[in-house]
Amino acid sequence: MDPNRRAARIVELLSGEYPETGSELVHRTTWELLVATILSAQCTDIRVNQVTPELLKRWPRPADLASAEQHEVEEVIRVTGMFRRKASSLRAAAKIVSEKHSGEVPADLEALVALPGVGRKTAKVVLGQAFGISAGVVVDTHVRRLAQRLGLTRGDDPERIATELESLIPRTEWIAFSTRLILHGRRVCVARSPRCDVCVLDGVCPRVGVPR
Ligand code: SF4
């Protein structure tokens, strides 16, 4: 099966398997989603969800977090790892959002990646989840692994993989496709022992690099 047909079939099968495509990061506002996404770097969503209620209760608005003490923020987010850098990024991003964007998260890729702690992946997540803007396929560790196993890329660099997936998947599907691949990577096509015997993609997956 050629990659275009395989990609179309994968989109179809994953849509049936995961009808809901909301973020697993708990949030009520775009600002809260941005904070949670910054914290999620090299950290599980479960752990992020453990700290955001306290963080956002103490400093609910960007202006509050911008004026928070560094050591106090570090204490609250410690369990998410890289807590010093994340605390610095959060405070600096909060200051820019508060002062330059009137407290509103900008719905613009370039403005988002100008915020400390926000790379293209985080920006795409926020644009997709909060604004419904398809800025690109989000490639995290799960998406990279699954794209390779599914034979949708031969690359290893996230930006290259994103470009390849964007050429195979309709733009209208980019947001949901990223989310669904991430869910599938967490639940079925896990890193060490993929559960091919129960996988909905078994019939279309070439299982690249997976021992039979
Ligand atoms: S068939 Fe196996 S390798 Fe392919 S997506 Fe499913 S779990 Fe992953």
Closest CA to 196 of 209, 178, 177, 179: 209
| Residue of 21 and 209 predicted with greater confidence | 209
What is the structure's pLDDT at 21? 75
Name residues whose C-beta falls within 8 Å of residue 176's C-beta, 6 or more positions apart in sequence. 15, 21
- Which residue has 């752990």 as its token pair? 47
Q: Is 2 a catalytic residue?
A: no
Question: Which candidate in 45, 95, 108, 140 is catalytic?
Answer: 140
Count of alpha carbons within 13 Å of 92, Cβ hemisphere only? 14
Contact 72 CB / ligand 1 (< 6 Å): no
The chain-wide mean pLDDT, for the chain, equals 94
Going by alpha carbons, the residue nearest to atom 8 of ligand 1 is 189
CA-202 nearest atom, ligand 1:
1
Mean pLDDT, rounded, for 179-198: 95
Residue 167, pLDDT above cutoff 80? yes
Query: What percent of the chain lies above the pLDDT cut of 70?
Result: 100
What is the structure's pLDDT at 200? 98
What is the structure's pLDDT at 13? 97
Mean pLDDT, rounded, for 177-190: 94
Residue 22, pLDDT above cutoff 80? no
Q: What is the pLDDT of residues 28-80, one digit of tens each?
A: 999 999 999 999 998 999 999 999 999 999 999 999 999 999 999 999 999 99
